[in-house]
Amino acid sequence: MSVEERKSRRGEGRERAGALRRLCFLASVLPLLFSAPALAQPRVVELINADSVSAQTVGEEPVRRLLGNVVLRQDTTTLWADRATQYLARGEVVLEDAVRIVTGRDTLTAHRVTYDSNTKEAVARGDVRIADGETVLLAPSARYLTDAEQSFFQEGGRLLHDGAVLTAPSGSYDARRKLAVLQGPVELRDSTAVLTSESGTYDTEAERAEFAGNVRLRQRGVYVEADSLTHFRETERSVARGRVVLERLGSAEDDPDAPPDSTRRTLLFGARAAHDERARTSRVEGEAGHDPLLVQLRTDSLGVTDTTLVRARRLDAVQRDSLGDAVTEVVAVGAVRMAQPRFAAVADSALFRRTEPDSADAPVLDRLDLYGVARPSVWADEAQIVGDTLVAYAVGEALDRMEVLGRAFAAQLDTTLGRVRQIQGRRMVARFERDSLRLLAVAPNAEAIYFRATDDGLLDGADRLTADSLAFLFRDGDLREIRGVRGIEGIAYGPQIVPEPFRLSNYVYTPEAKPTRALLLPPDGWEAAWLAAHPGTLAPLSIQEALAPPAVPEPPSDGAPPDG
């Protein structure tokens, strides 16, 4: 080989070595400019675009700084920002200004985001907004898991979904499960309702809220308190549990923030309540040994509050409009007990209907239907009226009349003699004036027993009458006249031969079974405590009267103890 050939080969070798050195240099620099080495950074964040790129080493960690129209990508997650800093060894990216992250259906925007490519977790601050197309989370800061599509916030947040706004100090939202978990105080607000509690969950797909701890629901003319509550926004139905208080105003308001109409209201207390706002129905049930309670109030123009108390195994209330009049109906089922200031009743089931005319000059009309295998009883003006079916009517706040169908019987204690007057027949009509009994009329197959007294108030005898129809006429609660029509027959007994006991076949006189306001609303019960804590619900006089100890009835002295 000639000298020239040897020189030529040595030059080619030097060129190849230089090219190799240049390749090695590029191999060491390019990872700093575009990506970390595969062995050091398995979760690669790919640089798609940047107006300028600079690389440096901070300590022993390679750092890349990106400015202007920054676009990065990792798998299906794309990140945008005005500027970013990549810490390549730890796999962390800090994005600043106009940050936007898109993964799947979710989009996150914020002022600043720290993104961990190993866990695919983004920690965002400054006007954070995370949206999945249907639900939006707004918060000052949040943590977002791109793979799981889960968001977490600890410094307060708002969740927006289909017209509803949920707010809470902390919580999370799972976009895949469509579920928000919130720690309180929590509030859900939409165009028809405001719901608050200590904690809760919200299913955005079913539009169902599960709230617990001091739950409060305001929905048009309805207010609910409960230990826990399930609320369905789409159907406007709610199920409350625990110590439930459901208050319905006399007339529903479109504005949930409108001041309550304290002159007409219905309160339901129980262990479980189901409320349907669209149907305007409510059902309340109690628990073992403690039946639900209804408190119905109406305050007149003089400020006097009439209070109706009802306990039963179950209470159903509905409010509707009929030809412009507001109608409230309450169905009580199972061991019904009712008390008003001058009226009380027991039955197996009852239907109470209150009609409030559209005209302010027209009186309120009440109707009460009582049913039961065990014959229902009504106590009014010291008289007890019993039958297979009883229907009572009231005009304004005064009892007007009562119709009794099937085995009608009425008894009243003769306070002078301590004996029980009685009248019975197939049907009966009782008429009242200013809540005072004025007439008891029965037909057909009418029978009556009444007692005569001497001027000294001693027993002077007794009479038993039969007729096609009979009537007792009262004045100021005392029997003043007896009238009979057709087929009148009678037997008079002297004071020495009055039968003991002297009773008609349908005899029922049980004053000790008369429900009282204090028995229906015991002063040591939680319902009384709630009412006492809400003085705007009952007038002070009504509260005192409701909590007064029950009166002890005096037993009749017709010669035998009372029975049914």
- pLDDT tens digit at each of 564 positions of the chain: 555 555 555 556 555 545 444 444 344 444 444 444 433 444 678 999 999 999 888 878 899 999 999 999 999 999 999 999 999 888 999 999 999 999 988 999 999 999 999 999 999 999 999 999 899 999 999 999 999 999 999 999 999 999 999 999 999 999 999 999 999 899 999 988 999 999 999 999 999 999 999 999 998 778 899 999 999 999 999 999 999 999 876 554 444 444 545 567 789 999 999 999 888 899 999 998 899 999 987 766 565 567 889 999 999 988 877 666 778 889 999 999 999 888 899 999 999 998 877 776 778 888 999 999 889 999 987 899 999 999 999 887 678 899 999 999 999 999 899 999 999 999 999 998 877 889 999 999 999 999 999 999 999 999 999 999 999 898 877 788 888 888 889 999 999 999 999 999 999 999 999 999 889 999 899 999 998 887 655 333 333 443 343 343 444 444 444 443
Supply the pLDDT for residue 307: 83
Supply the pLDDT for residue 61: 87
List for the chain the helix, strand, coil content (%; round to 5).
Answer: 10, 60, 30
User: Which 3 state secondary structure label does DSSP give 7?
Assistant: helix
Task: Go through the chain and tell me how many residues it has.
Answer: 564
Residue type, 516: T
pTM reported for the whole predicted model: 0.79
Pairing of β 325-340 and β 365-371: unpaired
pLDDT, tens only, 227-270:
999 999 999 999 999 999 998 765 544 444 445 455 677 899 99
Using alpha carbons only, what angle is made at residue 403 by residues 519 and 504, rounded to the nearest 5 degrees?
A: 80
Q: Domain 327-523 is in which class?
A: mainly beta
Instruction: Show me where the domains of the chain are located.
Output: 38-155, 327-523
Burial 441-464 (b: 16+ CB within 10 A, else e): bbbebbbbbbbbeeeeeebeebeb
Please give the Cα distance from 378 to 430 (Å, whole number).
Answer: 11
Supply the pLDDT for residue 59: 79
User: Which 3 state secondary structure label does DSSP give 59?
Assistant: coil
Please give the Cα distance from 138 to 128 (Å, whole number).
Answer: 6
- Pull the structure tokens for residue 187: 């509030």
Cis amide leading into 535 (omega within 30): no
Element holding 526 (H helix, E strand): helix 526-533
Residue type, 537: T
Topology adopted by domain 38-155: lipopolysaccharide transport protein A fold (2.60.450)
Cα torsion at 16, 18, 24, 29 (round to 10°)? -140
Residue type, 417: L
* Residue 163: closest CA among 202, 181, 183, 190: 190
* Residue 244: closest CA among 218, 214, 266: 214
* Residue 528: closest CA among 551, 550, 552, 548: 548
Using alpha carbons only, what angle is made at residue 223 by residues 221 and 226, rounded to the nearest 5 degrees?
A: 160
Please give the Cα distance from 209 to 179 (Å, whole number).
Answer: 10
Supply the pLDDT for residue 256: 43
CA 445 to chain centre: 50
Please give the Cα distance from 365 to 438 (Å, whole number).
Answer: 20
Supply the pLDDT for residue 40: 40
Residue with tokens 């009835």: 553
Supply the pLDDT for residue 233: 94
Element holding 551 (H helix, E strand): none
Domains 38-155 and 327-523 belong to one CATH topology: yes
Q: How far lies 447's CA from each of 355, 468, 512, 546, 557, in Å?
A: 36, 9, 25, 38, 21
CB distance 182 to 201 below 8 Å: yes
* Residue 305: closest CA among 341, 332, 278, 333: 341
Residue type, 69: N
Element holding 10 (H helix, E strand): helix 3-33
Supply the pLDDT for residue 543: 37
- Residues pairing with 131 in the sheet: 107, 136
* Residue 520: closest CA among 317, 267, 331: 267
CB distance 275 to 237 below 8 Å: yes
- Residues pairing with 308 in the sheet: 296
- Pull the structure tokens for residue 14: 């030097």
- Residues pairing with 273 in the sheet: 240, 284
**Helix/strand/coil (H, E, C) string of 422-435?**
EEEEEEEEEEEECC
Q: How many helices (H) and strands (E) does the chain have?
A: 4, 36
Supply the pLDDT for residue 560: 46
- Pull the structure tokens for residue 23: 């390749």
Supply the pLDDT for residue 8: 58
Please give the Cα distance from 229 to 249 (Å, whole number).
Answer: 20
Please give the Cα distance from 19 to 6 (Å, whole number).
Answer: 20
